[in-house]
Amino acid sequence: MKFHTDYLTFKTRNHREYINITSQVESALRTSAIQEGMILVSAMHITAGVWVNDAEDGLIADIDEWLEKLAPFRQDYRHHRTGETNGDSHLKSLLVHHEVIVPVTKGRLDFGPWQQIYYAEFDGQRPKRVVIKVMGE
């Protein structure tokens, strides 16, 4: 089995931002030359996440509103007693998870219709990384 690793770095302009990273993951797959296997895409920060879903602006806005309803910004999170103010960002990350695994078949991401990979930033405006680990033959 062969392995290939790439890293992406993001410094978003906004506190919350959702970035389609499918093309960067496809690029890592091409560089790896792996034909059959899988790709792990993982946010390397506890206030960010990665998901697979439709690349449709209305859906992204709906997801953002849903996350804000489930984990709204509040002043009274216990985490804020540490001097941080991002308790809601940690909770949002738990809701979307920090990683996805995508199958690779015949040298391509083996997606269903409309599926794309997104990086979700919940505490942005500073550098954060994503690891892409391609595994296979």
pLDDT digits (tens, 9 = 90+) for 5-24: 999 999 999 999 999 999 99
* Residue-wise burial string across 7-45, b where 16 or more C-beta atoms lie within 10 A, e elsewhere: ebebebeeebbbeebbebbeebbeebebeebbbebbbeb
127: pLDDT confidence band, cut at 50, 70 and 90?
very high
Domain 2-136 = CATH 2.60.120.460: yes
Q: Model's pTM, two decimal places?
A: 0.94
Distance of CA 102 to the CA centre of its chain: 13
pLDDT at 48: 97
Overall average pLDDT of the 114-130 stretch: 96
Cβ distance 86 to 47 under 8 Å? yes
pLDDT at 33: 98
Overall average pLDDT of the 49-70 stretch: 97
Domain ranges of the chain: 2-136
